[in-house]
């Protein structure tokens, strides 16, 4: 219940479940996971359709797993073996839905007080006022959700969840719609809140910045299975798996065909599917028959305004700039070389090279900037 229990700290959430779900293109997957969430932030990372929301819904009691067990410390929420299945309203979890679920007919204050109905009026008022103040939305208390900006809505939904003092917090891409500045403010507020509470927080995101800002631990989910988990820096340094590769920031991932190995040079040639671009990549242990992908960080690609000479880099291709746009303090360029590469440069480089759509440039990519990725499965 949302009543006046003190927050239970130092308690671990353990989840072991199986559950069928429909993935991205309506194909059916089986979510099959076994992991624990310690007090503090754990990032749940995965592409859309990997099963993240299904997993959170199962933990919160909105969906019922086929089998398994979910518990907070010794307190069992779900156990198929003993037939325990607490309804969502008795799990005392905080779950911030991706759609937020603010009640449109209630004011910000009424929304925040909604989960406190078991408390006496004066305590309800005091606690909601405290939550409104700590998320800096006290001035908006009498407004309706329709009268709020995106960031204000996120704060209201967060306040409404935190005010109930949940034992575990589930956050489903809560900040996806916000710009970087607002996001980091809310992340800071959330972090300082949990320094006092010390509850397990499972935080779904596909934003790398949030992984680095929050992540003490990372759980990577792919097609319903956990493909990697552990401290953020460890998981990020094993980018053989595609989901982790996206997490580690390979903006360019190409389907490739193996062409030839050059064992003396320590390289191999791979051709990007659907075009004639050949990449020289580090010689790796691969299964030639299985799909192969090459990941390249957008920041590892050099741009030259004329054909470069005398370089050690093995991969030099001409291409035409398709689009340019500025994201925070970097310029994102899409360059068509047969395949489209995403390249990140500084605004200064854009000036110096006079980059603009339609201009021909040369891409320079070191062999060791090409990471050979193996599709899992």
User: Degrees (nearest 5) of the Cα angle 180, 297, 188?
Assistant: 25
158 versus 244: smaller Cβ distance to other proteins = 158
Q: Does 7 bind other proteins (CB under 8 A)?
A: no
Convert residues 92-111 into a mask of x (bound to other proteins by CB under 8 A) and - (unbound). xxxx-x-xxxxxxxx---x-
The single residue among 14, 20, 32, 62 that binds other proteins, judged by CB under 8 A, is 62
Among the listed residues 188, 5, 201, the one whose alpha carbon sits nearest the alpha carbon of residue 94: 201
Name which of 96 and 241 has its Cβ closer to other proteins.
96
**Beta-bridge partner residues of 220:** 45, 228
Closest to other proteins by CB, 33 vs 92, is 92
| Residue 147: CB minimum distance to other proteins, A | 13
Q: Are 331 and 345 in contact (CB under 8 A)?
A: yes
Q: Which of residues 159-218 bind other proteins (CB under 8 A)?
A: 160-161, 164
Q: Which of 171, 156, 167 is nearest to 53 (CA)?
A: 171
> Site map for other proteins, 210-239, x if CB under 8 A?
------------------------------
Question: Is residue 130 classed as helix, strand or coil in its secondary structure?
Answer: helix
Position among 4, 24, 73, 117 found at the interface with other proteins (CB under 8 A): 117
Task: Give yes or no for a contact between 65 and 17, defined as CB atoms under 8 angstroms apart.
Answer: yes
One-character DSSP codes across 290-313:
S-EEEEE-GGG-EEESS---S-S-
Q: Which of 51, 68, 115, 319 binds other proteins (CB under 8 A)?
A: 115
- Binding pattern to other proteins, positions 66-95, x when CB under 8 A? ---------------------xxxx-xxxx
Q: Which is nearer to other proteins, 62 or 257 (CB)?
A: 62
Q: Does 118 bind other proteins (CB under 8 A)?
A: yes
**Half-sphere CA count of 176, side-chain side, radius 13 A:** 14
* Choice between 49 and 145, CB closer to other proteins: 145
The smaller minimum CB distance to other proteins, of residues 103 and 368, is found at 103
Which token pair is 262? 């050059």
| Cα(24)–Cα(26) distance, integer angstroms | 6
Candidate list 2, 36, 134, 269; residue touching other proteins; CB under 8 A: 2
Separation in Å, CA 326 to CA 178, 323, 359:
17, 10, 17
Q: At its nearest, how many Å lie between other proteins and the CB of residue 205?
A: 19
- Rounded CA separation 112/106 (Å): 9
CB 205 within 8 A of CB 244: no
Residue 1 is a binding residue for other proteins (CB under 8 A): yes
- Which is closer to other proteins, CB of 161 or CB of 207? 161
Q: CB 296 → other proteins: shortest distance, Å?
A: 38
Is residue 197 classed as helix, strand or coil in its secondary structure?
A: helix
How far apart are CB 13 and other proteins at their closest, in Å? Answer: 15
**Sheet arrangement for strand 267-272:** 278-282, 267-272, 252-262, 292-296, 370-374
Strand partners, 260: 269
Residues at the interface with other proteins (CB under 8 A): 1-2, 60-62, 87-90, 92-95, 97, 99-106, 110, 114-115, 117-118, 160-161, 164
């Amino acid at each position: 219940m949302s009543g006046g229990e003190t927050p239970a700290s130092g308690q671990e959430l353990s989840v072991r479940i199986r559950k069928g779900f429909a993935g991205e293109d309506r194909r059916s997957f089986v979510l099959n996971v076994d992991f624990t969430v310690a007090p503090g932030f754990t990032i749940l990372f995965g592409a859309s359709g990997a099963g993240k929301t299904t997993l959170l819904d199962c933990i919160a009691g909105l969906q019922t797993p086929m089998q398994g067990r979910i518990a907070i410390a010794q307190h069992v929420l779900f156990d198929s073996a003993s037939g325990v299945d607490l309804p969502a309203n008795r799990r005392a979890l905080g779950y911030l839905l991706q759609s937020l679920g603010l009640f449109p007919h209630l004011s910000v204050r009424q929304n925040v007080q909604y989960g406190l109905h078991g408390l006496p009026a004066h305590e309800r008022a005091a606690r909601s006022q405290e939550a409104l103040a700590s998320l800096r939305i006290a001035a908006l208390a009498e407004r309706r959700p329709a009268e709020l900006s995106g960031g204000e809505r996120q704060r209201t939904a967060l306040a409404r969840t935190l005010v109930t003092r949940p034992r575990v917090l589930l956050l489903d891409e809560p900040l996806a719609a916000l710009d970087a500045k607002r996001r980091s403010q809310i992340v800071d507020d959330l972090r300082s809140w949990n320094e006092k509470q010390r509850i397990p927080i499972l935080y779904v995101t596909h934003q790398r910045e949030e992984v680095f800002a929050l992540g003490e631990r990372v759980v990577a989910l792919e097609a319903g299975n956990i493909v990697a988990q552990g401290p953020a820096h460890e998981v990020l340094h094993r980018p053989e798996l595609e989901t982790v590769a996206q997490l580690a920031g390979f903006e360019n991932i190409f389907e490739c065909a193996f062409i030839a190995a050059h064992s003396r040079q320590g390289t191999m040639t791979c051709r990007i599917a659907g075009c004639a671009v050949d990449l020289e990549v580090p010689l790796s242990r691969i299964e030639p028959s299985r799909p192969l992908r090459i990941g390249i960080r957008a920041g590892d690609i050099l741009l030259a305004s004329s054909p470069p000479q005398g370089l050690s880099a093995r991969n030099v291709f001409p291409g035409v700039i398709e689009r340019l746009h500025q994201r925070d303090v970097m310029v994102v360029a899409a360059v068509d070389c047969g395949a489209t590469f995403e390249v990140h440069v500084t605004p200064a480089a854009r000036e110096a090279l006079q980059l603009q759509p339609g201009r021909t440039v040369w891409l320079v990519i070191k062999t060791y900037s090409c990471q050979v990725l193996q599709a899992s499965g």
